[in-house]
Amino acid sequence: MKILFLTTAHNSLSQRLLIELTERGHAISVAIADSERAMVDAVARDNPDLIVAPMLKAAVPEAIWRRRVCLIVHPGIMGDRGPSSLDWAIMEGAERWGVTVLQAAAEMDAGPIWASHEFQLPPVADAKGSLYRNAVTEAAVRGVLEAVEKFESGRFRPLPLDYARPEARGRLRPAMTQRDRAIDWSRDRTETVLRKMRAADSAPGVLDELFGLQVFLYGAHGEDRLKGAPGAVIARRDGAICRATVDGAVWISHLKLKSGAPGPDCGHFTQEGGCAYCEPDFCPVSGVKLPAAQILGPLLFGVPESVLPVVAEIDYRSYREIRYVERDGVGHIHFDFYNGAMSTQQCYRL
């Protein structure tokens, strides 16, 4: 069949689906759905047999879904609706989650259901981005392949969304806001902070304040040994900072400044003569995710460095990007850099 992808970005999921469907003999074309006109034009140009939306942040125009079957890949269990599906699942500690392939209709995420696949979530789920690239992608691939086969057969009739069905356990959720994500360092326990941060990673991050700066937090790791006054930055390690909670601490590997203005009013700390980083018309750290210590710079003066050797064997949670273990004469190097991106310094350390 000729299948058109309408997608906000040709991301890891859409690329994986392109490969899987191409290997099964389908002809795939991809259109970036950055506007309603772009979607309508792509359908008119390609005249596909079927439309699939692997990751779409905008509604499919009525001019499309009225005339053609358009399958939406929604990262939620059957009955779940809304733009913050994974965020809510992680935040509330859901034990199981899933992906539903449904047909575009007038009401968002409420169209007939073609396939639905679930998976187990760990007690403290991975960061949203990691969960999306792994468990969600695998369930989405199974769901889309199943739905495409059903469509190709010409015999399947999708099931209408019916909350009387026991498997339709989801519900309509609002978009999650920074108010929902806000951390109360004087009250939130470590597990709560981890869920809030991981539900917002890799986007949009959790908006918070550090040393008077408005920053977004990313890259959360639990810490069981270090303790301090709730909210205080108590240690640093390999570019990350450790911030105390009421019952432990959390490592924060990356920050992003809220302000995007250049120059001495960029929004982060200033010294005599202006910003320590900025050139007259350029701020190299504003609006970019960077290691927390790089953003905070001299504001971390006096915060102790907590060294954890790569060969240390520990039986508690902490933050470590590189770990080395020998078993039966074989050396194993484990490395986990945020979002898989490696800086020059990380390459040297590795």
Other residues' Cβ atoms within 10 Å of the Cβ of residue 138: 15
The answer as to whether 318 is a domain residue is no
pLDDT tens column, 136-162: 999 999 999 999 999 999 999 999 999
- Which pair of tokens denotes residue 62? 């009525």
pTM of the model: 0.90
Give the pLDDT confidence score for residue 244 in this predicted structure.
98
Question: Which CATH number characterizes residue 232's domain?
Answer: 3.10.25.10
| Statement to judge: residues 35 and 144 lie in one domain | yes
| Statement to judge: residues 185 and 294 lie in one domain | yes
Mean pLDDT of 29-33: 98
Mean pLDDT is lowest, of 77-86, 122-131, 303-312, for 122-131
pLDDT tens column, 237-281: 999 999 999 999 999 999 999 875 343 345 444 444 445 555 555
Q: What is the C-alpha to C-alpha distance for residues 46 and 55, in angstroms, rounded to an integer?
A: 19
Are 310 and 324 within 8 A, CB to CB?
yes
The answer as to whether 322 is a domain residue is no
Are 109 and 72 within 8 A, CB to CB?
yes
Q: How far apart are the first and last CA of the chain?
A: 46
343 φ/ψ angles, rounded to the nearest 5 degrees: -80, 170
| Statement to judge: residues 141 and 185 lie in one domain | no
pLDDT tens column, 196-239: 999 999 999 999 999 989 999 999 999 999 999 999 999 999 99
Partners of residue 98 on adjacent β-strands: 118
The residues, ordered by sequence, that sit 6+ positions from 14 with a Cβ below 8 Å of its Cβ are: 5, 7, 30, 54, 55
pLDDT tens column, 34-43: 999 999 999 9
> What does pLDDT average to over the chain?
92
Question: Which CATH number characterizes residue 122's domain?
Answer: 3.40.50.170
Q: What does the angle CA 42 – CA 44 – CA 50 come to, to the nearest 5 degrees?
A: 75
- Which pair of tokens denotes residue 322? 């590189």
CA atoms 95, 103, 180, 213: torsion sign: positive
Give the pLDDT confidence score for residue 270 in this predicted structure.
47
Q: The domain containing residue 42 runs over which residues?
A: 2-153
In three-state secondary structure terms, 71 is strand
